Every structure is written in structure tokens, then in C-alpha cells.
Structure 1
Amino acid sequence: MKSKDDELREIFLAEALDQYEELNRLFTVLEKDHADKSSVEAIFRITHTLKANAAAMGFHNIASLSHILEDIFSEIKQENLKLTTKIFNDLFRANDKVGVMLDGIKEGKEIPYKGLLTKLKLILQKGSKEEKKLSPPIKPVDTDTPPTENEKVPELKEPAENTNTAPVGGADSAPQEKTSEQENKEDKIPDPKSESPALPKKTGTTESEKDAQKEVQQQLTFSDFVQVPVGKLDALLNLVGELAIEKDRIIANSSRYESNEYARLYRITSDLQYSVMNVRLVQVNVLFHKFHRIVRDVATLEGKKVNLVLEGTDIEIDRNVLHSISESMIHLVRNSVSHGIESEKERLEKGKAPEGKVTLRARNEKEYVVIDIIDDGKGIDAEVIRQKVIEKGLAGADYVKSLPDLEVIKYIFESGFSSREEVTAVSGRGVGMDVVRKAVDAIGGKISIDTKVGQGSKFSLLLPSSMAVKNALLFVLNGAEFAIPLSFTEAVVSVTRDKIHKVGNGLMTTHLDKTISVLFLNDIFNCECEEELYEANLQHKSIDNLKPEDRLNIVVVSVDDRMVGFVVDKLLQQKEIIEKPLGKPVDHIRFVSGATILGNGNVCLVLDAPDIVDFLTKTRLQLAHNR
């Protein structure tokens, strides 16, 4: 497996090769029309970017060469240096040298370049001298322009023995012991008309020509990176999914044989499947870096000072997962700034720093990726939330007062809930939180809150690293096979009928010394219309027909820290499935999130656990309220 440094180097090489090819094209265009200012501007931008990227990666030779090219085109932009055929020859050779250096990075070779660097410095120096001769002695050029990085040319006007010093901004800061003559011998620059005594005149001309020809031959290079549309990756993953289904079917049908003739097929298809999944992985910084502008805009609108801190930006996650939670992240970050961070005056009164801080942190946790949105603001006051819940009639006063603070705070995820007194351009914490929870639940994730009044809040999103393949538990219900994602499954238990008790209109039992709700899935799947789902005694139908000693299979699921036991007919096995969304006209069916095909060819529906738990909770609250 490649290290992060190797991946960064490959990304740099891919971008640098594109920049190298674009410079070749722009040099050609500019050579035909020296007055093409757009090409000059483009070349200046590309050399600046290449210099910065190379310096960041530690490729000092490319950074130094790109820097001197940037300085030359800065002078050309300011009309301090005129383009000539001789200059173009040197520019093309400099770009050829960059191409050779890029190849050298791949092969781990050091490419000599100091002689060419010195020659480019002389071009810059001569251009500057000629401009000074043409300029009036009293009025220097560009007096009104503030000093820039490109005006550090006087360092290039030192005597010949100092011309091997790296330009300002370049990465070569180590002392150089080689003379200019030695550098030119290493670099083999064919320039018989040069007036520099350090350059060879006739000796070595053949070698120089061979070296130049070699550089020209190496211009036609290709990047190891290929940009592929996401749609093609999705289509490839669908084909791999079909292959996996066929693999399971073949192996299931051949189970009567005791040979291992299908072991190789199983291994190859599994490796192919996970390889395609890895291609879809992207680093979370693709999303994180977009929030600098969001935080800035919201803070400006609210009149606050807020710093954004990013951590764990190299964590990888499925692109589709990242895309699915992007809107939820925007809600959370905007609310952290708007309703979480206090004003500068309030923070100073509380002894806090005047600038608030919002942190986006990503980390791996088993097969999941956890994204934390943390602010050091006022936190969430459970008493305020408790009063709002009572005012909006979301639950009875006695019930809400008996709940612990953390359970009360979870009401901010209810639809339409808001603790904001005024409607502003930016939503308060709570507005849109139901959207956040639904988006996270839809991809098999979880969201949790940790908050302290006066210290801040932390929202944690537990997300699957991939949506392509899910681990699921298979079971039988009414003779049909169903699946439930393992991300929601806490345990599988077997209890007798007498351990389940009627409480109001629902059922309860104990699991690990905790009281949990119980639901017979047959009770809701046997309903002929939606109105039957809200009948008072619906959840008692199946249990009334059982004997006290009858044993029941229960799948304990957990959604938003709410645990519910689903009673099923028969448990089968754990299995990796590739879930597909339901198509029309059954795409809006309740309690089902999708379907998959098993190895035996049967269609297996995938339960929407969050929807079932949400329905159960709301139904009980509604029935309790009606009483």
C-alpha cells in the first residue's frame, strides 16, 4: 500500500506534467506573437504555482528554476525585458530541463541545472541593465509601485563567483562550493556565442548537442494519473456488484461439492470489488477546505471573529458518503458560528479569547470515519431546550422534565424545532437539524452530541467509509428474506414470551439491565393500508397469539442511542450485500431502504431501521398524547 508521501508525490507529478505541457504550448503561442499579454500572464501564474508546489514537496531544483522563470516573466509583464529569439531558445530549454527533472523524480536521479540557472539569471540581469540605460537617470522605473518579490534582482548583480546562489524564494539555501564553470560543464549547455569565460567554446559541443537532443526526446511524457468521471466509476461498481452476485450464486449452487475449485474465483472477485471501492475514496480535505469561506461569510454577517481549524484532512472516505453529508456539514458549521460562538463582547466578559474557534476533525474508528464539528462557544442549555419542547407540544411536560439533559437536547433534531427567538439570515442551532439526522441515517451513520454550557459543543458524525458494500444480518419474516445493516445492529437475543410485557400501547423487555421497546415486524408489515399503522392495539396483535413458553428471536437495533428489539421469524447469517435503491413505482415504500439479490437468486429487501424506530417513537408519543 502506498504511503501518503508517495500519493502526494504522484499528485504533484500529475499537476506538474500538465503545467509543463501547458508552458510548452504557451511559449509556442508567445513566440509567434510577442505582444500576447494573456499568454504572458498565464505563464507567470503557472511558473508561480509550479514554484510553490515544488518548494512544498522539497524539490528544490524545480522550485529554483521555476522561480527564475517567474522573475523573467514578471519583468516581461512590466515591459522591462523584451523577448528575442535567443531568449525563447533559453526559455524552451529551461522548460525542457523541468521535464527532465520531473522524469528524474520518478527515477530517483539528480539532474544538473545550475549552469542553466546562471544563464537565466544573466538574461534577467542584462534586461534590467538595458532598461536602466534607456530610463531617465532622475526618475527610476515604477517608483510608485510597492516593492515586490520580483524586485530583488540586485542579488543577481553580484560578481561572477556569487552567481550560483539560489534566487530568493527558491529552496536551495545550502552553501554551494562548485564554480560556475563546473556547473556549466555538468549541465552541458551548447551556447558558443556566450561571452561568459566559464562556458566551454568548442570542447564538449558534441556532448552538449547529444544532451539537448535527449531532453527534446523526453518532452513527450505522460502522467500516471487519469481523470475518470464519477459516473464511469459508478457503472464499474455496478458491474462488479453483478459479478459478486453471480459469484455467490455459483458458489451456493456448488456447495454440494467438497473441492476448492471456486476458491480462486471468490478471491479474485472480492479483490476486484474492494479495488474498485478504493478508487472511489477521497480525502476529507476535499470538503473541509470549502468551509473557510463559509465560516468567514457567516462570521462577517454575525459580526463575530471566528477561526477555522482543520484536523485529520488526510482521512479517506467514499466520495458518495462525502457528497451525501455535505449539506449536513454546512448546517452544523453555520449553526456553530451563528448560534454557538458568542459575540466578541460576550466572550471577553466570560474571560474567553475574543476570537471563537470552530474545529473540523476527521478520524478513523474501525470501519467507520468520524467527523467532529467542535466549537468553543456557549454550548446548549438543556433547560432552554426543555422549555421549547413543552411550548411546541412535542412532548408532555411531566415526561420532558423527567428526561436527563442529554435526552432533552436530542429534541433539536425534531422537525421544525428551533431555540432561536428571531429569524435571521443565518439559521440558529436547531434549524435544519432534522435534515442532518435524516441525511446521516440514510447512509447508515449516527450522530451524537456532547455539550457543556459555557464551554462549547461537539457534534460527531459516525459515517461508513464506503456505501458500495454493506455488512448485513439476514433473517426471515413471513417466509421472505430480509436484511438489516450491521451498523444498526447491537445484538441478537432469544427470549421467551413471558419476558415481554405490555406497557400502554407498546411492548417492553430488558436487555443488559436496560428497558427497551419491542416491535413485532409482522405487525407493521401485515398492514394493508397506512391507517392501520396508527391503530391503538396494533403492536399487541402478534403477542396475544403466543404462549408464555414460546421463544422469540429478537434483533436489537440502535438508532440515535434509542434501542429497539425487532422480533423476526428466523435468523440466517451475516453477509456482505450490495444495496440498490428501489425503482418506481415502489421507490416510496415505507420501512424499506433498498434491495439486494442473494446468491440463490432471491430478491432481499433491506430494512430502513431509522424509519422504523422513528415511526415507533412518534406513534407512542402521539397515542400517549391522545389519551
Structure 2
Amino acid sequence: MSKENEYREIFLAEAVESHEELNRLITELEKKPDDNKPVDAIFRITHTLKGNASGMGFKTIADFAHVVEDIFSAIREKKLALDEQIFSSLFKSIDVLGDLIHSVKTGAKVQYRGIKTKLEVILKSLKEGEQSAPEDNEEANSNTDPSTKDHSITTVSNQNRIAPSDHAANTVQKESMSEPEPEENAKIIFSDHVQVPVRKLDNLLNLVGELVIERDRIIGLNAENMGGNEYSRLNRISSDLQYSVMDVRLVQVSFLFNKFHRIVRDTANQENKSVSLTLKGTETEIDRNILQIISDSLIHLIRNAIGHGIESIVDRKNAGKPAEGHLTLKAISESDAVIIDVSDDGRGVDAQKIREKAIQKGILTEAEAKNFSDDDIVLMIFEPGFSTADNISEISGRGVGMDVVKKALDSIGGTISINTHKGVGTTFSLRIPASMAVKGTLLFELKNITYAIPLSYTEAVLSIHKKDIYKVSNGLVTSHLGKTIPLVFLKDIFELSYANLVNESKILHKTYDRTSAEKALNIVIVSYNSRVMGIAVDKLLQQKEIVEKPLSKPFDNSKMINGVTILGNGHVCPVLNVATLFNLIFIRNYTNKKN
């Protein structure tokens, strides 16, 4: 990569971070218009952004940031009063500034002249007012901070372009020319932090994964010809390297959480509701790629909580609640996972309304619906297209529901659960892996092939006999911890296509019917989205941390296999897709009930 492109990536990383901070600060300022701290912070950020953009030759961004900087200079000097119309223009200008930054990467055309002209008219009217009152103007000039003067470079040739950090240093040098000369023994101080593009970390992690797989293969092939500690140093160093690279990829969830202040503000205004947001556990760390994958899911949950959960101001007052609704976004670390809770103090999920929708859609009969607990009924909101919205709006009712959230979590081996109380509120809990690089698994054998099942889904392993299993309709059940749970022989699932499993009856009885009463059966108890199931396999092996690789074409459409890894013996080990297994079994149940 050329130096110019590298500087461009650094600029974009800094600019995107600056824009996110501007969104947070402007939302904070709207709540406390008399607070000078957000105003000063926004002024400093736009001033720096203007200089960095100018140094890179992005004149449109520099000019636009300059106008926004001047607006906030006027605000902090008390020349411009903040009101609803001004805030509307400020929010719009920050949105446009974000679009301009994004266009550096995408090349998209951004309509910015309208809001820029509007801000310039405001500044011009302020200037004309100063000219009509020279005494006031003189006093204002005497109080102006010299650091607010514009030292940005307006034109920079390709040969003389400098990195944003170099430009910042150059600007500081210009601004301090009138100060005393530094001592001769002054030292240049370097930052302890460097910015690295994510693609470089992804490539490094991929190489480390390949190294770990090759290490296990070599150790496995030479196990019989070496002592127990022959490769212990190689094993330790490669493992330390792997976890060090994983640690570099971790970011605090505040990186994502801080974006939601603006989202909550905009969604609440759109719904004509009053909603506040509290963030907890923002220092919790998680893999950046995972955070990116779940970002849309969290946006959907938050918008859903405001649109569906939190009542209108009138309804809240009638229910004896504060007029302002409250959202809480909380993250906590738990072993090798992160739990993210999205909580609201709204009306709660109406289980009876979901029952009625399930009957209306033909998923359940009236008799079956009565036998389902409220907890089981509520889980139906994750079914594709299942919505209880009566009216179509920008927030809900467009046929895109919670199934989108569930699919995103399935793709990374995460789960979601619901805790809701009518009239009190709802909490959606997302359990997601802290990292996708290394996955703890349980190895098992089926028809002489070794498979892996993620430990995040594994509850227990059992050894039972045929007499402990019972036929029920077209399936099988057994008992675990005093509860009746469904059970499947994985061999039956793998021998049939998805369509056959849904339509053909008695399929799940085949291996059971051929099994002798005396044979001990190996069962893995797995859980997914508050449901529990037993899986019968041929042989249980061991727990092992693996580096999972995605399936390549044409095998990437396999429903039951999520990915593969390479074992120490060099054999390919498929990783079972537990989410698909659960969905397949329950879709079959629903289909049979409808038929």
C-alpha cells in the first residue's frame, strides 16, 4: 500500500471517531444547552478535523468543518443563542459532515451546499450585528482565544501531502511561534499508541490460526516418536502469540454504545416520545468484528424498544409512570462470552397477543396455544415475519422483525433470551462470544468421523439406555434435571435432506428402533434460545479449543455444518451448526401441526 493511501486510512479512522464523538456531544448539549463543556469539545474537534482534512487535500470537508467550527465559536462566545431551530441545523450539519467523511471511501456525492449556506447566513447576520455595535465587537475580539484562528492549509500538492498527525504537529508549531524558545535539551515525545488498519489485524490473525493448525498437525503426527515435553515450548509460544493477537483486536463496547445516544434521541423524536439512555459496563472488551456484526441487531432492539415497548407520554402518565421512558444498555464479561442487555421500562411483551397471532397464522391451534407457557409463546417473536405491530411505521411493522436479530447472533454462535413483565418492562439478553478466533468445543464421533460442537451451546453430557427414551408422535423425548426434553439421533438427521425431515413422518425413530435395549447411549445436552435438546452421538471424545474456518464453495450452503477445523492427525473436523439443528426440528414440529 502506498504512503498516501495509508495516510488516507489513518485520516478516515480519526475522522470517523471524531464524527461519532460529535454525535454524542451534540446530543448531550441538547439536553443541557447551558453547559459550556460540550461546546468547547465540539469546537476543538471541528478545528482539528478541519486541519487534518485540509492537510490531506479534502477541501470540501475542510471548508464545511470550518463553517461548523465558526458556528460553535460564536456559540461559546455567547454571540449565538441555542434554540430549537439552531439545534435542528446543528444536527443536520453533523449528519452531512459524516456523509462527507464517508464519501472519501465510497465516492458518493453528498448534498451539502444547502446546510452550509444556511450556516453561513447565520454567521453573516451575526457579523452584520457586530458591525452595527462596534463597542461590543471590540470587546468580543479582546476576549477571543488566539488558538481559534484558522491555521489550516487550504491547498496541498500531492508531493507535499502529510499525514494528519504530522499536520497537527505542524499546526501546533505555527501557533506557538510567538512563545519562548524551547530548551536545547528538549526531547521529542512519541505517542505510546499506533493506529493499525483492521484488515492487517485480520490477516495477522488468519496467519496465526494457520500456524496453530500446523502446530497441532506436527505434534499429532510425531506424538509416538517424541517425549511428552518435546514440543511444549512451541506449543506455549504459539498459544501466547495467538492470544496476544486476539487481545489486540479487542475494543471496549463503548466504541459502539456511545453511538446510541443519537439513535435514541432521533427515534424518540420520530415517535413523539421522551426517552433517556443509560450505559453500563462500557469498559467491557470484545472482538471488534463481533461488535460490528451485532451493531445492526442492537440498533433494531433499541428502536424496537422505543417503538413497541416504551409507551407514549400520555399512556405513561395514565399508568403512573414518569413521562420520560428509560432505556439501559449494559455489558458484562462472563468467562469467554459477553452478555449485552437491552432493557426498557415500558409495557412489556404481551404474551396473549402473540398467542392470538400464532393461532391466526396457523402456527398453533387454540388447544395447543393454551398449553404453551408464556415464556415459550414469547419466543415466537423470533420466527421470520412474525410481528404483532398493528400499524406500519418507520420503526416496526414492515415484516422485518426479531428474526433478523436471531440470524445475526446465529452467525457468530450467540444466543438471545427475553425477560418481560407486563406493564413493567422488557430485557433482551444477548450472549455472544468475546472472540471468534478461538472456539471452545466438544469433540464427538459419528460414523467414524470426528465432529465438534461449540461449548457455548453445551449444557451437559449423559449416558443413558433405550428404556430412558420414549416415542412421542413423530419424535423422541427423554428426561433431564426433572424436565422432559426432545431428543434426536444425529445420525438420522445427517442421513436425510432438510425437505424430507420436514415432510416425512417417523424419521426420528429409525436409529432408535434399531438400537438394542442394553446399549448405553452417549447424549450431548445442548441449549439454544431458552430451549433444550438431547443429541445422541456414537462416541464422546474430548474438549478442545479450535480455530474454525468457514466453508468454501460449493460447501458453504451446508445447513448443518457451520465451518471446519484441522485436527492434530491432519483430518478435517466439521463444526456442527446447533442453531440450524434447533430451527430445523422446531420448523418440523410447526409444519406437522399445521398439516
User: What TM-score do you get using the length of structure 1 for normalisation?
Assistant: 0.67
8 A Cα contact 1:524 1:533, kept in partner: no
8 A Cα contact 2:443 2:541, kept in partner: yes
1:46 to 1:463, Cα distance in 2 relative to 1, 3 A: closer
1:260 to 1:424, Cα distance in 2 relative to 1, 3 A: same
8 A Cα contact 2:501 2:588, kept in partner: no
Residue in structure 2 matched with residue 237 of structure 1 by the alignment: 205
Residue in structure 2 matched with residue 503 of structure 1 by the alignment: 472
1:353 to 1:538, Cα distance in 2 relative to 1, 3 A: same
Render the CA deviation track for 1:377-428: whole Å, top value 9, x for unaligned: 1111211111111111122221111111111111111111111111112115
Secondary structure at the counterpart of residue 595 of structure 1: strand
Render the CA deviation track for 1:511-531: whole Å, top value 9, x for unaligned: 111111111111121126743
8 A Cα contact 1:358 1:376, kept in partner: yes
Secondary structure at the counterpart of residue 421 of structure 1: coil
Give, in angstroms, the shift of residue 141 of structure 1: 3.6
For 1:107-126, list aligned pairs within 5 A.
none
1:383 to 1:530, Cα distance in 2 relative to 1, 3 A: closer
1:392 to 1:484, Cα distance in 2 relative to 1, 3 A: same
> Which of 200, 223, 233 is the matching residue for 2:191?
223
AA aligned opposite 1:493: L
Give, in angstroms, the shift of residue 602 of structure 1: 0.4
1:612 to 1:259, Cα distance in 2 relative to 1, 3 A: closer
AA aligned opposite 1:45: R
AA aligned opposite 1:234: D
Residue in structure 2 matched with residue 482 of structure 1 by the alignment: 451
Aligned: 1:45 with 2:38:
no
> Which of 246, 250, 256 is the matching residue for 2:214?
246
Identity %: 52
CA distance in 2, matches of 1:607, 1:441: 12
Residue in structure 2 matched with residue 615 of structure 1 by the alignment: 584
> Which of 487, 490, 507 is the matching residue for 1:518?
487
AA aligned opposite 2:194: V
1:498 to 1:294, Cα distance in 2 relative to 1, 3 A: same
For 1:192-591, list aligned pairs within 5 A.
212-215=183-186, 218-219=187-188, 221-256=189-224, 257-427=226-396, 431-527=400-496, 530-531=499-500, 534-591=503-560
1:517 to 1:74, Cα distance in 2 relative to 1, 3 A: closer
Secondary structure at the counterpart of residue 356 of structure 2: helix
- The Cα RMSD (Å) is 3.4
AA aligned opposite 2:44: R
AA aligned opposite 1:212: E
AA aligned opposite 2:185: K
1:512 to 1:49, Cα distance in 2 relative to 1, 3 A: same
Unaligned runs of 5+ in 2: 1-12, 19-39, 50-68, 78-129, 147-175
Secondary structure at the counterpart of residue 209 of structure 2: helix
Render the CA deviation track for 1:331-388: whole Å, top value 9, x for unaligned: 1000101111111111111111111111111111222111111111111121111111
Residue in structure 1 matched with residue 94 of structure 2 by the alignment: none
1:149 to 1:339, Cα distance in 2 relative to 1, 3 A: farther
For 1:1-80, list aligned pairs within 5 A.
45=44
CA distance in 2, matches of 1:450, 1:138: 62
Residue in structure 1 matched with residue 90 of structure 2 by the alignment: none
AA aligned opposite 1:214: N
CA distance in 2, matches of 1:594, 1:482: 10
Give, in angstroms, the shift of residue 48 of structure 1: 7.5
AA aligned opposite 2:546: I
CA distance in 2, matches of 1:587, 1:445: 20
Give, in angstroms, the shift of residue 263 of structure 1: 1.0
Give, in angstroms, the shift of residue 304 of structure 1: 0.8
Give, in angstroms, the shift of residue 254 of structure 1: 3.0
Residue in structure 2 matched with residue 111 of structure 1 by the alignment: none
8 A Cα contact 1:493 1:556, kept in partner: yes
Aligned: 1:142 with 2:137:
yes
1:532 to 1:374, Cα distance in 2 relative to 1, 3 A: closer
CA distance in 1, matches of 2:498, 2:272: 53
Give, in angstroms, the shift of residue 266 of structure 1: 0.8
CA distance in 1, matches of 2:283, 2:345: 24
AA aligned opposite 2:218: I
CA distance in 1, matches of 2:484, 2:501: 27
1:347 to 1:240, Cα distance in 2 relative to 1, 3 A: same
8 A Cα contact 2:317 2:323, kept in partner: yes
1:529 to 1:398, Cα distance in 2 relative to 1, 3 A: closer
1:309 to 1:150, Cα distance in 2 relative to 1, 3 A: farther
Unaligned runs of 5+ in 1: 1-13, 20-40, 51-69, 79-134, 154-188, 195-207
1:273 to 1:482, Cα distance in 2 relative to 1, 3 A: same
Give, in angstroms, the shift of residue 276 of structure 1: 0.4
Secondary structure at the counterpart of residue 500 of structure 2: helix
1:150 to 1:495, Cα distance in 2 relative to 1, 3 A: farther
1:47 to 1:290, Cα distance in 2 relative to 1, 3 A: closer
AA aligned opposite 1:252: G
AA aligned opposite 2:319: K
> Which gives a bigger RCO, structure 1 or 2 (Cα 8 Å, sep 6+)?
2
Render the CA deviation track for 1:486-523: whole Å, top value 9, x for unaligned: 00011111111121111100011111111111111111
Give, in angstroms, the shift of residue 556 of structure 1: 0.8
Render the CA deviation track for 1:78-112: whole Å, top value 9, x for unaligned: 9xxxxxxxxxxxxxxxxxxxxxxxxxxxxxxxxxx
Secondary structure at the counterpart of residue 611 of structure 1: helix
Residue in structure 2 matched with residue 600 of structure 1 by the alignment: 569
AA aligned opposite 1:434: D
AA aligned opposite 1:246: E
CA distance in 1, matches of 2:496, 2:202: 36
Secondary structure at the counterpart of residue 553 of structure 2: coil
CA distance in 2, matches of 1:319, 1:190: 41
Give, in angstroms, the shift of residue 43 of structure 1: 13
8 A Cα contact 2:492 2:507, kept in partner: yes
Secondary structure at the counterpart of residue 346 of structure 1: helix
CA distance in 2, matches of 1:417, 1:362: 28
Secondary structure at the counterpart of residue 367 of structure 2: helix
Give, in angstroms, the shift of residue 224 of structure 1: 2.3
Secondary structure at the counterpart of residue 135 of structure 2: coil
AA aligned opposite 2:135: P
Secondary structure at the counterpart of residue 246 of structure 1: helix
1:310 to 1:190, Cα distance in 2 relative to 1, 3 A: closer
User: What TM-score do you get using the length of structure 2 for normalisation?
Assistant: 0.71
* Number of residue-to-residue matches in the alignment: 456
1:350 to 1:602, Cα distance in 2 relative to 1, 3 A: same
Secondary structure at the counterpart of residue 541 of structure 1: helix
Secondary structure at the counterpart of residue 419 of structure 1: coil
8 A Cα contact 2:342 2:427, kept in partner: yes
